[in-house]
Structure 1
Amino acid sequence: MAKLLFRLGRWSYNFKWRVIITWLILLVGVAAAALSLQKPFTSQFAISGTPAINATAMLVENFPDQPNPVKAAGVNLVFKAPDGETLEDPDNYEAVNDVIKHLEDNLAMTGTERFGNPVDVSPKQTETIIQMETEMGLPQETAEADAANVALLTDDKRIGYTTFNFDSPSSFEVKQSDRDIVTEAMEIGREAGLQVEAGGAGFGDPIQVKTTSEIIGLVVAFFVLIFTFGSLVAAGMPVISAVIGVGIGALLIVLATHWVELTDVTPVLAVMIGLAVGIDYALFILSRYRQERQRMSGPEAAGMAVGTAGSSVVFAGFTVFTALAALTIARIEFLTWMGLAAAVTVLIAVLVALTLIPAMLGVVGDRAFAGKVPGVAGNPARGKRLGKDLTKNSMGRRWVNFVRRVPALVMAVVVLFLGILSAPVLGMELALPSDSTSNKDTTQRKSADLIAEGFGEGVNSPFLVVVDAHSVNPEATVLQPYMAAQEGTDPVTAASQSSFLYAVNELNQVSGVKHAQLVSANDDNTAAQILITPTTGPDDQYTVAVAEALRAQGEQIQDSTGSEIGLTGLTAVQMDITEALEGAMPLYLAVVVGLAIVLLLLVFRSIMVPVVAGLGFLLSVGASFGVTVLVWQEGLFGLVNTPGPLLSFLPIFLIGVTFGLAMDYQVFLVTRMKEQYTALGGEEYSGGVHKAVERSTVEGFVQGARVVTAAAVIMIVVFVAFIDQPLPFIQIFGFALGISVFFDAFFIRMALVPATMFIMGRATWWMPKWLDKILPDLDVEGSALEKEYDAKLEAQAAHTESMQKVSS
């Protein structure tokens, strides 16, 4: 592979304009296709095959005239009167009417059964429910409780709400102009002195990606590259290549929406990861080119850089690609597409780094490291002729020599420190985005808080139980008391209605259920909907237990009556997704760690190096999870104003990304050590004062630490810059990825890895001979390529010398 990449790098250098023009044409072409064929992104995280989705299908089948509750673009509009006033006061009453009228006059709506001024609608609804249910033979007390449970106005008349649906196929297809109308209506009420807030699936914040995050990341990366290369020209090339690569990747994701439904967070995560790895990969190749250019011509140096560092880039990129693509293991559609989108972006970043960097080097030629900054990266300071030698007494050399002197202490500190930080993971809570978990400053969160204040937390997390009575057993013992009260009714119909009433009664007995009530039956009385209002909100872990208890009770009802029972609703769907993600985590983690060990075994031909790398990865991931829990879930030091459960798919996605990036640093750092060890041949060095492992670890670390440090800093800054984004889950991703890279690069790769090498000694590179024979030789560090090139130079020198002797 190294030889093939050598030829690719040299060709890209020599045919620079072909390469550059090809990438630019590809960028423009993908942009044109994306803009022509793109479709909207979705804000829903739905998956097929879960119990809630199956129940939703049952609901749609039995109630074809009603909207799908999972896709419905519903809106809750909440009103609160000022202190000491009520919504019934004339001025407040008229203000609410003005809000309602503005919506009626300007907005197309569906699902308006409960739409209107809650002062008027709530008592009418209460009267209708009581009358209807008493006529059905239900006790007055039950009818009144049912009416109170769905009331739209609080007893003190201070808080009320109304509901409707946007006239849109789904919540992610709501037009911004329709959202603007709702916002205008809210302002009418606010100007009149009311607090008016809006939430619901249809009024979720559309994805807004602030370009400042990318700009901040690129600017800081540029300055880090200046300190790495000491050159303005060299600092600009990785940034340019990363922007082109990420641009193509992001546009391909936009284009993919024409055929695949993608969540709106997909392109954000792909850009975040693609930008980070794109700059890093270009940095590694450019750094190696600088080293090789001291002894080779431009084309040869570009080829050697791509053949050596580029081999590591290919392996690292393949590792990241595989880790992201392996998210398909979870069998969750939106997560699969997120992983594949990010994986494709990484793949493009690798191809751009391998070809566009040498092409740009071919354009600038000997000016590749022009625009030198005095006193930086070994450049001489102003007024001095010689610069600083970065290898003799660098910070990296001082650090690795310190680790060599006390390796056991360093290892103990790292393991204990990261282990302690991992402890909060045991209390990690997961959920999907909802109004209740939105930022406290948003109207969505305020609407949920107002509803919880006036009507209880459970109103924000309703469940819907579907009872399909097509297979009901009229002879069921539990139904006989209910059927006896329906004399004169057809036995099948009586059995169906009895199963509905029995289900309501049984579900009301479940702990954590505030109220269960029959809200609808289809025209032929073969199916019914039961609204379940829990006592807790959607972000409360107890609500999950309530859902599990409801399903268990549903199974009992099925066994007793023969009717089919399903639990659905947006809350149930989200909980199923969370449960599926948690279930997939152990398998995915096993695959990722196993993959790491196998790949590193092939690369380094060592037993212990992969084992240490895998265990170190687990430590860094655990610590990053722990700190993320402390800050974003527990609200440590008040650093975030809206602590709450973490995003359900954050752990599994973070594992995939962190694994890939961890292997990047492992490969780039340890390949340098392996190069040195191979050059020393495993023999004792300098009379046994330094063994080969110690010497190779020190020298390899010195050669790779500066570049790896720069790469890690760039990646951390790119990720942390996304904390500036408006949506909380993007902020959490940026923070978690940034802290994860920090722990892995600086604690694991630069401390734990060299410490364990010093402790293990020659065992570091031990491998059974039988295993060494059967494993393919990947030569990721490009040793064979360098030996071949050195042999070529020696042959040329010998030929030149012989020709000189002949001529003399």
Structure 2
Amino acid sequence: MAKLLYKLGRWSYLHKWRVIVAWLIILVASAGAAVSLMRPFTSEFAISGTPAIEALDTLDSNFPGEGDVATAPGVNLVFAAPEGEQLTNDAYMAAIDETVAYIEDNLADIRGTDRFGNPVVVSDELQRMLVEQMTELGLPEEAAQKDAYNVRMLSDDARIGYTTFEFGAESNFVVTDEERQVVHDAMEIGRAAGLEVEAGGAGFGDPIEVNTTSELIGIGIAFLVLLVTFGSLAASTMPIITAVVGVGIGAMAVLTTTHWVDLNDVTPVLAVMIGLAVGIDYALFILSRFRQERASLPGPEAAGMAVGTAGSSVVFAGTTVFVALVALVLAGIEFLSWMGIAAAFTVFVSVLVALTMLPALLGVWSDKAFAGKIPGVAGHPGPGDRPAKDLDKRSMGRSWVNFVRRFPAVVMAVVVLGLGAMSYPVLGLEMALPADTNSNKDTTQRKAADLLAEGFGPGVNAPLLIVVDAHGVNPDAEILQPYMAAIPEEQAGGRAEQAALASFLYTVGQANSVNGVVHAQIISVNDDFTAAQILATPDGAPDDPYTLDIAHGLRENNLQVEDATGVTIGLTGLTAVQMDITEELAEAMPLYLGIVVGLAIILLMVVFRSIMVPLVAGLGFLLSVGAAFGFTVLVWQDGLFGLVNTPGPILSFLPIFMIGVTFGLAMDYQVFLVTRMREHYLKLRGQDGGQDGAESDAELRAVEEATVEGFRQGARVVTAAAIIMIAVFIAFINQPLPFIQIFGFALGVAVFFDAFFIRMGLVPATMFLLGRSTWWMPKWLDRILPEVDVEGTELEEQFEDHQDHQNHQELQPA
């Protein structure tokens, strides 16, 4: 592979304008396709095949036309009078009426208006009608009164009230800004009268907004790091250019894909975040090697050698990131799979651009590739012609690795115990999907949810919908006989209908017996009395772990009802759907973690021909991921030091996605750092004659010297790459949506722990402690594993032989 990449790098250098123009044409064509074909992103996190989704199918078949309750564009409009006052005040009543009227007059299409209007008036009418309907079905009046009270729209103290409606949009993710603006304008009418008016619900979520400042901040910091690394204005621009081109093509491809696939609105953000970080890093590695080779080789050959050696590592590292992201498909979760595929494609394009466009840019700059030198930086002479520090002899990398060499056990203990302790908060990890109840406290959605919880209890924000399909009800079921006796057969319309109604009432009674259910009640029965919808209000918020226990209790209860009556029962609704997704993600995480760690160990065995190096790399990866999770939980969930104003559960798909990304990036640094060490080890060992299997001071010395020299050569570039990647990720904390902020923070912390604690601390420390065992591998395993020359050793040897031959030819007499 190294030889092929050498030819590619050299060809790209010599045919620079063809390569650059080709990539620009691809970029423009991608943009054109995106503009022509792109469709809106969705805000759904649905997973097919979950119990809640299957219950939605049952609901749709028995109540056609009612839509998907999990994605219905519903709005909760909440009114609150000042403390000590009531909404029944004449001035407040008039303001509420005007607010509601404004929405009716200015929304072209509005649905779900059964509970829409002034809550003071609608609540009384709704409760009265409900009592009449339920008593007609044979429900005792006392039970009907409880049902009516549970769906009240005015709090007991009459200070808080709410009303609901649905936008005319097909689902919550296609609601327009204009429709939302109508609600915002209406809210100002009530606020002007002294009321607190807030709005929430699935149809009133904030649209995805991505601040371009995040990318600009990341690119700006990356440019400064590149300046310090190369000390050249010209060289510092090239990795930025290639990364922007690669990410641009990847992002346009993601937009184009929306024409055929419903993609979640987080997908392009993550693709850009990851693609930008790896794009700059990969170009940095190749450019750094080019500078080294350019000291002794002409431009085309130096470019070829840089792509053949560092480019080989880039291909391997990019492949690990690609595989880790694509492997998210194994979790069997659609939206997560597409996130992984989108990010993986962006990484793939970034690798191709780095391997071809970077040497082409070097060809354009030619001998001025490192022009615009910054005095006193990266080995350049400082002011007054004073020589700058010799980076080969005196550098922070060399000083650090020599410290590790003296105290390897101390460094290892500090890293393992420190990161292990940092991982402890993971035991308290809570996961949830975005909802009004965990939105930022400053948003109207969060304020609306808090007001509803204050006036009607936390369960009002977490309704659970029980769907009963009574087509298979057993009229002879013993448990149904008392209920059937209370329902006249003539009133029900027949024995089958009588049994169905009895099963509905029995299901309600059993649901009310589940611990944590505040109240369960029938809210709808279809026309032929074969199915019913039952609302179960839990005593907990949507992201409360107790609510999950209640949902499980209801499902266990439903199974018992099914066995006793012959009906089919499902639990669904937005809350249940999100809970199922969270559980599916949690269950998939251990399997995925095992796959990526196992993959890491196998790949690194192939590359480094060692047992211990891959094992240390894999265990180190687990430590860095655990510590990153732990710190993220402390800050974003537990609110450490008040760094975030709205601590809450961690986004459900962050852990599994973060495992994939961090794995890929961790392998990047492992490859770029340890290949340098192995390269030196093979040269030193070859000079000492090999001495396989012998306890040799010379071989032990080779291991230690190779570790020092390899670290010294790789540490500066890896440090720069890690700082760039951290900066790109952390810059996304500037985004307005909390879950994107958490992604940026968590990935930045993960890279920090992995690059500076694991790769630059634990890895060299274990090598010094292991000595000769560092590069040991059983001969039988060495024979069966394929050979992969990531270091480009064969290419270097061939090139040196060619150069020696040419020099010999020049020395021959004419």
Q: Same fold (TM over 0.5)?
A: yes
Identify which of 726, 730, 741 aligns with 1:720.
730
Match of 1:643 in 2: 647
Residue 488 of structure 1 and its aligned partner are, at CA, apart by 3.1
Identity of aligned residues (%): 67
The answer to whether the Cα contact below 8 Å between 1:379 and 1:387 also exists between their aligned partners in 2 is yes
Residue 612 of structure 1 and its aligned partner are, at CA, apart by 0.3
Query: How has the CA–CA distance of structure 1 residues 193 and 677 changed in structure 2, closer, same or farther, with 3 Å as cutoff?
Result: same
The answer to whether the Cα contact below 8 Å between 2:75 and 2:164 also exists between their aligned partners in 1 is yes
Identify which of 670, 674, 677 aligns with 1:670.
674
The answer to whether the Cα contact below 8 Å between 1:397 and 1:701 also exists between their aligned partners in 2 is yes
The answer to whether the Cα contact below 8 Å between 2:325 and 2:341 also exists between their aligned partners in 1 is yes
User: Where do residues 386-785 of structure 1 align in structure 2 (5 Å cutoff)?
Assistant: 386-489=387-490, 490-681=494-685, 688=698, 691-785=701-795
Residue 373 in structure 1 maps to residue 374 in structure 2 = yes
Match of 1:70 in 2: 70
The answer to whether the Cα contact below 8 Å between 1:683 and 1:691 also exists between their aligned partners in 2 is no
Match of 2:693 in 1: none
* TM-score scaled by length of structure 1: 0.99
Alignment partners' CA distance in 1, 2:215 and 2:306: 28
Alignment partners' CA distance in 1, 2:700 and 2:509: 80
Alignment partners' CA distance in 2, 1:388 and 1:16: 35
AA aligned to 1:9 is G
Residue 771 of structure 1 and its aligned partner are, at CA, apart by 1.5
Equivalent residue of 2:556, what SS? helix
Alignment partners' CA distance in 1, 2:386 and 2:8: 37
The answer to whether the Cα contact below 8 Å between 2:404 and 2:761 also exists between their aligned partners in 1 is yes
Alignment partners' CA distance in 1, 2:804 and 2:370: 29
The answer to whether the Cα contact below 8 Å between 1:684 and 1:691 also exists between their aligned partners in 2 is no
AA aligned to 2:10 is R
Alignment partners' CA distance in 2, 1:767 and 1:604: 10
Query: How has the CA–CA distance of structure 1 residues 330 and 689 changed in structure 2, closer, same or farther, with 3 Å as cutoff?
Result: closer
User: Where do residues 74-113 of structure 1 align in structure 2 (5 Å cutoff)?
Assistant: 74-107=74-107, 108-113=109-114
Equivalent residue of 2:465, what SS? strand
Alignment partners' CA distance in 2, 1:737 and 1:488: 64
Cα displacement string for residues 479-508 of structure 1 (whole angstroms, at most 9, x for unaligned residues): 000111123331101000000000000000
Alignment partners' CA distance in 2, 1:467 and 1:688: 78
Alignment partners' CA distance in 2, 1:589 and 1:66: 40
AA aligned to 2:496 is V
Alignment partners' CA distance in 2, 1:233 and 1:21: 20
Equivalent residue of 1:667, what SS? helix
AA aligned to 1:171 is N
The answer to whether the Cα contact below 8 Å between 1:682 and 1:692 also exists between their aligned partners in 2 is no
Equivalent residue of 2:183, what SS? helix
Match of 1:791 in 2: 801
Cα displacement string for residues 495-539 of structure 1 (whole angstroms, at most 9, x for unaligned residues): 000000000000000001000000000000000000010000001
Query: How has the CA–CA distance of structure 1 residues 689 and 5 changed in structure 2, closer, same or farther, with 3 Å as cutoff?
Result: closer
The answer to whether the Cα contact below 8 Å between 1:683 and 1:692 also exists between their aligned partners in 2 is no
AA aligned to 2:218 is G
Alignment partners' CA distance in 1, 2:299 and 2:386: 25
Alignment partners' CA distance in 2, 1:57 and 1:303: 58
Equivalent residue of 2:113, what SS? coil
The answer to whether the Cα contact below 8 Å between 1:320 and 1:659 also exists between their aligned partners in 2 is yes
Alignment partners' CA distance in 2, 1:68 and 1:346: 36
Q: Which moved more, 1:737-746 or 1:770-779?
A: 770-779
Q: Which moved more, 1:458-467 or 1:761-770?
A: 761-770
Query: How has the CA–CA distance of structure 1 residues 307 and 689 changed in structure 2, closer, same or farther, with 3 Å as cutoff?
Result: closer
Residue 650 of structure 1 and its aligned partner are, at CA, apart by 0.6
AA aligned to 2:565 is T
Match of 1:295 in 2: 296
How large is the Cα RMSD of the aligned pairs? 1.1
Query: How has the CA–CA distance of structure 1 residues 767 and 682 changed in structure 2, closer, same or farther, with 3 Å as cutoff?
Result: farther
Residue 689 of structure 1 and its aligned partner are, at CA, apart by 10
Alignment partners' CA distance in 2, 1:34 and 1:384: 53
Residue 61 in structure 1 maps to residue 71 in structure 2 = no
Alignment partners' CA distance in 1, 2:756 and 2:712: 14
The answer to whether the Cα contact below 8 Å between 1:8 and 1:355 also exists between their aligned partners in 2 is yes
Q: Which ranges of structure 1 fall in alignment gaps of 5 or more residues? A: none
AA aligned to 2:594 is A
Equivalent residue of 1:113, what SS? helix
Query: How has the CA–CA distance of structure 1 residues 647 and 516 changed in structure 2, closer, same or farther, with 3 Å as cutoff?
Result: same
AA aligned to 1:691 is R
Equivalent residue of 1:538, what SS? coil
Residue 83 of structure 1 and its aligned partner are, at CA, apart by 2.1
Alignment partners' CA distance in 2, 1:30 and 1:666: 34
Alignment partners' CA distance in 1, 2:609 and 2:191: 69
Residue 682 of structure 1 and its aligned partner are, at CA, apart by 5.8
Residue 339 of structure 1 and its aligned partner are, at CA, apart by 0.4
Alignment partners' CA distance in 2, 1:30 and 1:535: 51
Cα displacement string for residues 748-780 of structure 1 (whole angstroms, at most 9, x for unaligned residues): 000000000000011100111122122221110
Alignment partners' CA distance in 2, 1:65 and 1:8: 59
The answer to whether the Cα contact below 8 Å between 2:222 and 2:724 also exists between their aligned partners in 1 is yes
Residue 140 of structure 1 and its aligned partner are, at CA, apart by 1.5
Equivalent residue of 2:534, what SS? strand
Residue 393 of structure 1 and its aligned partner are, at CA, apart by 1.3
AA aligned to 1:700 is G
Alignment partners' CA distance in 1, 2:677 and 2:469: 67
Alignment partners' CA distance in 1, 2:489 and 2:226: 86
AA aligned to 2:586 is E
Equivalent residue of 1:681, what SS? helix
The answer to whether the Cα contact below 8 Å between 1:654 and 1:737 also exists between their aligned partners in 2 is yes
User: Where do residues 225-264 of structure 1 align in structure 2 (5 Å cutoff)?
Assistant: 225-264=226-265
Alignment partners' CA distance in 1, 2:756 and 2:688: 29
The answer to whether the Cα contact below 8 Å between 1:684 and 1:690 also exists between their aligned partners in 2 is no
Residue 84 of structure 1 and its aligned partner are, at CA, apart by 2.6
Match of 1:30 in 2: 30
Equivalent residue of 1:383, what SS? helix
AA aligned to 1:401 is N
Residue 458 of structure 1 and its aligned partner are, at CA, apart by 0.2
Alignment partners' CA distance in 2, 1:472 and 1:687: 83
Residue 388 of structure 1 and its aligned partner are, at CA, apart by 2.2
The answer to whether the Cα contact below 8 Å between 1:38 and 1:254 also exists between their aligned partners in 2 is yes
The answer to whether the Cα contact below 8 Å between 1:474 and 1:491 also exists between their aligned partners in 2 is yes
Alignment partners' CA distance in 1, 2:312 and 2:352: 12
Alignment partners' CA distance in 1, 2:782 and 2:412: 29
AA aligned to 1:11 is W
Residue 67 of structure 1 and its aligned partner are, at CA, apart by 2.1
Residue 687 of structure 1 and its aligned partner are, at CA, apart by 7.9
AA aligned to 1:353 is A
AA aligned to 1:15 is H
Residue 385 of structure 1 and its aligned partner are, at CA, apart by 5.4
Equivalent residue of 1:372, what SS? coil
The alignment of Structure 1 onto Structure 2 pairs a total of residues equal to 804
Residue 71 of structure 1 and its aligned partner are, at CA, apart by 1.8
